[in-house]
Structure 1
Amino acid sequence: MVRRWGLAGGLALAAVLLGGALFAHPVLRGDVFGDGAVLFLITWLPMLIGGVMAWGLVQAFGRRDELDRRIAAAMGGHPMSRELSWMVILLGCFIASMVLLSWIFAVYGEETGIAPDLAMSVSLVSRLLFLFALPLLIMDRSGLTVDGKGTAMPAIALKVAELWRWLGLIPVVAAVGLIGYLITPHIGLPSPSLALYALLVAFTVIATCEEIFFRGMMQTRLEQFMGRWGGIVMTSVVFALTYAIIQPYDAVSQLPGYDLMHDTGLALLTYGAASLLYGYLWACFRNTWINVLMRVAMFVLLLPPDLRIGIGQ
């Protein structure tokens, strides 16, 4: 029954959150229904094209039924309800860590906020601990590797040997290339520099942690309860809400930061919409590296303003 109504429940939650934000915040309504509508279309259309291309490639060349059976076997024996509960707790700890470390590091930053290098340290430390190290440890203790069960899941996600599962690079290149073609004439690209390379390395680590947590762990388990699209939509809502909440403390957040209500609505329209494609790519190819590559490319195209200043832009 949960699987049957999973997609409807996820869409209903997203609609309530977005509708409430639009109703309560005139600035957000101006963004959505004013000049900002063009910017949303610029990003949504390439994402939609990428999703359609991924669907076509899987239909033509993929063996998704076989891959889904491998995922189901890898999840066999896992106490998934308990694991999802732990993920919610760890996500709360991640948010609390962002707030606490930002407050501590602010002492060493500029008077108007924390310096970009310290801000990136907050993002890295919090994600490495609560979205990577501790989740892996907890999943291990619930049957991933310590008990010798379920060790196929990391191999499926990270050791991708089948050629067709790398075909996801095609829609990634198409979507990112089209977004770049549409927006770079207006905002430009950051100039190559050591600071930019350091940010790319840091964000690659951040994206890897997030994709393992949100897609590899959370979405995979939610799909077992809510169905494929129910899991994708619910994970996208959680992903967007997380970025809305941590926006004031996160160096890599690309939201303007008016207030929580505004950022929630905008996060659903940006991070949530992008997450639908990330989630669909994961559901089609189960290849973490494709998702990470797309996240890093999007980061370069949409480098947050504070970090642009930090690298001299």
Structure 2
Amino acid sequence: MVRRWGLAWAVALAVVLIVGPTLVRPAMRDDVGGSSVLFLISWMPMVIGMVIAWGLVRAFGRRDELDRRIAAAMDGHPVYRELGWMALLLVGLVLSMVMLSWIFTVYGEQTGVSPDLAMSVALVSRLLFLFAVPLLILDRSGLTVDGKGTAMPSIALKVSEPWRWLGLVPVVVSVLLIGFLITPHIGLPPPSLTLYAMLVAFTVIALCEEIFFRGMMQSRLELILGRWGGIVLTSVVFAMTYAFIQPYDAVSQLPGIDFVHDTGMALLTYGAAGLFYGYLWACFRNTWLNILMRVSMFLLILPPDLQIGINQ
């Protein structure tokens, strides 16, 4: 029953989280109304990418076999308990960013947290709560003798089947379309050591987030809610996480008006993008494709706060 209605429940939750802020916040209605064309522009390349991914997997893929490997990798894992741990880890992520931001603000520069310190908060918190601790208590799940703990990382990171790299096609097409549509208005940042350092930092952030949200969370939710139920609910959690950490996060793109407003905008931006990331993962189970997509998006839409000193 849970698996059968998983998609309906996940979509209903997403609709409530979008419609609620839109109804109660005039600023949200203005943003949605004034940015409707922008939303269409940003969503359309990802929709096209999803269609391309679907066609490639249908023609050349062996997704059923890959799904069986995922189910086998999850065999023996207490999935519900691990999802509970993941919820606690997300709480830890938010609290860590709050505390580190406060510390760096108090002991940092008089004018506030510098871009370098702000990126340090983003990096340290994600490395700890989305990567190091989850790998210890979730993916290995204490099973180190019989090798079960290495099954999922082998599937996600050691991609040897050529057809699983066909996901490069929808990624490249989506990135090129988004770049064509938005770079005339925003422009690309010029090359610099600062930019390269930020790209390395965001690659680490993308690695942590994609392993946690797609490799760990979505894979488990798919077992409970079905493929699309897992994709949608993971996208909702992904977006809500950015809504919570927005005031303390160097890479967040949300306006920061208030939490209700940011929740709605997070669902319309990070949530929509999360559907594409989730579908890529469901089709190819190749973490490197998701990381490439995330880093490309970061380069195309560089957070304004991180452009300080980029020409130095």
TM-score tier by shorter-chain length is over 0.9
* Residue of structure 1 in register with 2:269 after alignment: 270
**C-alpha displacement of 1:31:** 1.1
Q: Identity over the aligned pairs, expressed in percent?
A: 76
* Residue of structure 1 in register with 2:97 after alignment: 98
**C-alpha displacement of 1:24:** 1.2
State yes or no: 1:203 paired with 2:198. no
Cα pair 2:254 2:262 within 8 Å, conserved: yes
Of 284-293 and 302-311, more deviation after overlay is shown by 302-311
Name the CA shift for 1:187/1:157 in 2 (closer, same or farther; >3 Å): same
* Residue of structure 2 in register with 1:18 after alignment: 18
Match of 1:151, SS state, is: helix
Cα pair 1:7 1:233 within 8 Å, conserved: yes
Matches within 5 A, 1:1-313: 1-34=1-34, 36-139=35-138, 142-145=141-144, 148-312=147-311
Match of 1:241, SS state, is: helix
Whole-Å separation in 2 of the counterparts to 1:273 and 1:140: 27
Deviations 1:135-173, CA, capped at 9 Å, x for gaps: 000025624535532421110000000000000010000
Whole-Å separation in 2 of the counterparts to 1:142 and 1:41: 42
- Code of the residue aligned with 1:27 in structure 2: it is A
- Code of the residue aligned with 1:181 in structure 2: it is F
Cα pair 2:139 2:216 within 8 Å, conserved: no
- Code of the residue aligned with 1:13 in structure 2: it is L
Of 145-154 and 225-234, more deviation after overlay is shown by 145-154
Cα pair 1:245 1:260 within 8 Å, conserved: yes
- Code of the residue aligned with 1:247 in structure 2: it is Q
Q: How many residues align?
A: 312
Structure 1 stretches of 4+ moved >4 Å: none
Q: List gaps (5 residues or longer) in structure 1.
A: none
Whole-Å separation in 1 of the counterparts to 2:169 and 2:262: 31
**C-alpha displacement of 1:255:** 1.0
- Code of the residue aligned with 1:75 in structure 2: it is M
Cα pair 1:116 1:310 within 8 Å, conserved: no
**C-alpha displacement of 1:311:** 1.7
Whole-Å separation in 2 of the counterparts to 1:146 and 1:43: 46
Deviations 1:90-126, CA, capped at 9 Å, x for gaps: 1100110000000001124444430000000000000
Whole-Å separation in 2 of the counterparts to 1:141 and 1:229: 25
- Code of the residue aligned with 2:71 in structure 1: it is A
Whole-Å separation in 1 of the counterparts to 2:309 and 2:5: 46
Cα pair 1:77 1:143 within 8 Å, conserved: no
- Code of the residue aligned with 1:196 in structure 2: it is L
Whole-Å separation in 2 of the counterparts to 1:291 and 1:301: 15
Q: List gaps (5 residues or longer) in structure 2.
A: none
RMSD: 1.3
Deviations 1:9-57, CA, capped at 9 Å, x for gaps: 10010111111110111111011112x1111011000010000000000
Whole-Å separation in 2 of the counterparts to 1:31 and 1:60: 40
Cα pair 1:141 1:147 within 8 Å, conserved: no
Whole-Å separation in 2 of the counterparts to 1:73 and 1:53: 28
Name the CA shift for 1:147/1:93 in 2 (closer, same or farther; >3 Å): farther
TM value normalised by structure 2: 0.97
Name the CA shift for 1:32/1:146 in 2 (closer, same or farther; >3 Å): farther
Whole-Å separation in 1 of the counterparts to 2:189 and 2:293: 17
TM value normalised by structure 1: 0.97
Match of 2:251, SS state, is: coil
Name the CA shift for 1:268/1:257 in 2 (closer, same or farther; >3 Å): same
Whole-Å separation in 1 of the counterparts to 2:145 and 2:255: 43
Match of 1:207, SS state, is: helix
Deviations 1:268-297, CA, capped at 9 Å, x for gaps: 000000000000000000000000000000
**C-alpha displacement of 1:74:** 0.7
Cα pair 2:140 2:149 within 8 Å, conserved: no
